[in-house]
Amino acid sequence: MAQQPPSITTETVLDKQQTTSLNTIQTTGKSIRYKDEYKKLNNMLHSVNRIILIVKERYIHVQRQSQYKLNNSPKQNPSCEHPKIPMLICGLGNPGEKYAHTRHNIGFAVIDILADRHNVHYWKNEAGCQVSTINITNANGQSKKIILAKPWDFMNTSGGPLCKLARAHNITADQILVVHDEIDLEDGRIRFRTGGGLNAHNGLRSIADKLGTRDFMRLQCGISRPPGRMAVANYVLKELKGVSLTNFYIEAEAAADKVEELIHL
């Protein structure tokens, strides 16, 4: 008698299809889960990298501030021990966003920082300058009004507006403090001096010419000389980015600290 082949029932076929579908669903589920876990891990790594960047920037900031305090201690700058209190503080720079983040505009940056510290919300145009005032109390308890100014003309002709502003407020040359960049001073160094040479600085030359004297106070913000054969004009007007821009603002903050010392004597 011939042997009958095993029969395959509909139920058996369905069981195989269900098993295959179940395996597919499980595989798909694992794939989706892996993708979700990968996405979460990628987001975590992005957050960690961001934290590392913030910590690195903060470390650089602290290191630079420590170096500024060391470089600009009174022992290294004996000339700033007993200066005259300035009544007009003028920061040098060029107007416009194009020049805002350049070494040549550190004077403007210092004035803006001082204004922000003293909650200045209003600037007026006077004698060709952007002008505001702050009220301070010196070590003797005397209240004084200090003028903050940014000549709203190009660096080479900043002397005209500053001279007009000083005359309008009966301020003499020896009561003026000019904040400016200095290529013959190491990057990050701050130095106070009264009078002296102009060192081919067109802004200082314009001011000395219009005031008729070099006997005004200066706060020099060191930017060092340009590297290699790079022209000075290109160097001081080059837009700063990244770490260079961070260092620019750190130096401006340090210079503002020095101004605060001078006006609170």
Please give the radius of gyration of the chain, using alpha carbons only, rounded to the nearest integer: 33
Residue type, 3: Q
C-alpha–C-alpha distance, residues 117 and 202, integer Å: 29
CA angle (125, 218, 139) in 5-degree steps: 85
* The pLDDT of residue 81 is above 50: no
* The pLDDT of residue 184 is above 80: yes
pLDDT at position 79? 43
C-alpha 64, offset from chain centre: 13
* The pLDDT of residue 55 is above 90: no
C-alpha–C-alpha distance, residues 23 and 17, integer Å: 10
* The pLDDT of residue 75 is above 70: no
Backbone torsion region of residue 114, taken as left when φ is above 0, otherwise alpha when ψ lies between -120 and 50, otherwise beta: alpha
The phi, psi pair for 150, rounded to 5°, reads: -130, 105
Q: Tokens 């502003």 — which residue?
A: 165
pLDDT in tens, 120-138: 989 999 999 999 999 998 7
- What's the pLDDT band for 182 if we cut at 50, 70, 90? very high
Task: Give the pTM.
Answer: 0.70
Catalytically active residues, by annotation: 104
**Average pLDDT in the 169-192 region?**
96
